[in-house]
Structure 1
Amino acid sequence: MRIALHTRVRAEHITAYETAHREVPAELAAAIRSAGVTSWTIWRSGEHLFHLLECEDYARLLAELEHLPVNIAWQTRMEKLLDVVHDYSPEGTSAGLPVVWNL
């Protein structure tokens, strides 16, 4: 399944956000893959971040990562940089952007 998300980085933290994503912990990347993600791309337009995930089951992904210490540490780091964060709670399953059109 494909999931598109929108988050927003604080303007003064764009460089720190991009630097952080060049240093994603290997343990976190492995956990994301283990939770069924085959691809995760983030694009930035100004302060707006657009994520496209390819995964087996988005609800499973969130459930597996929500309480994982390496993800909690990463999310704590991201909360300092973002105005709109990725929601790993069960309610986060409805955070995906709705499909308007597809070719």
Structure 2
Amino acid sequence: MKVALHTRLRPSTVDDYERAHGQVPAELMAAIRRAGATEWSIWRNGLDLFHVIDCEDYQRLLADLRDVPVNIEWQARMDGLLDVAHDYSSDGSAAVLPLVWHLGGSE
């Protein structure tokens, strides 16, 4: 399944956010993969961030990552950079973008 999310940076944190994502801990990436994500991409337009996650089960992904120490540390770091953050404490639906249209491939 694909999940699209929207988050937003705090003003003046763009460089810190991009620098952080240049050094995502290998342990965090491994935890995300173990939780079922096969891909996670983030695009930025000004302060707006758009995430697309390919995963087996989004709710399971959130549940599996919620109590992982390296994820907790990462989320605390991101909390200082984001005005609108991805919320691991809820059901994860607050920032999920609904699909409006999709042009599929001809496979």
Q: Same fold (TM over 0.5)?
A: yes
Q: CA deviation at 1:94?
A: 5.1
User: Per-residue CA shift, 1:47-87, capped at 9, x if unaligned?
Assistant: 00000000000000000001111000000000000000111
Q: CA deviation at 1:89?
A: 2.4
1:34 aligns with 2:15: no
Task: Report the number of matched residues.
Answer: 103
Task: Tell me the equivalent position of 1:89.
Answer: 89
Q: After TM superposition, where is structure 1 displaced by more than 3 Å over at least 4 residues in a row?
A: none
What CA distance in whole angstroms lies between the structure 1 residues aligned with 2:36 and 2:92? 17
Is contact 1:37-1:55 (8 Å) kept? Answer: yes
| Unmatched tracts of structure 1, length 5 or more | none
Q: Which amino acid aligns with 1:97?
A: L
Q: Which amino acid aligns with 1:55?
A: C
Q: CA deviation at 1:96?
A: 1.3
1:25 aligns with 2:60: no
What CA distance in whole angstroms lies between the structure 1 residues aligned with 2:38 and 2:20? 21
* TM-score, normalising length: structure 1: 0.96
| Unmatched tracts of structure 2, length 5 or more | none
Tell me which protein shows more helix as a share of its residues.
Answer: 1
Is contact 2:7-2:95 (8 Å) kept? Answer: no
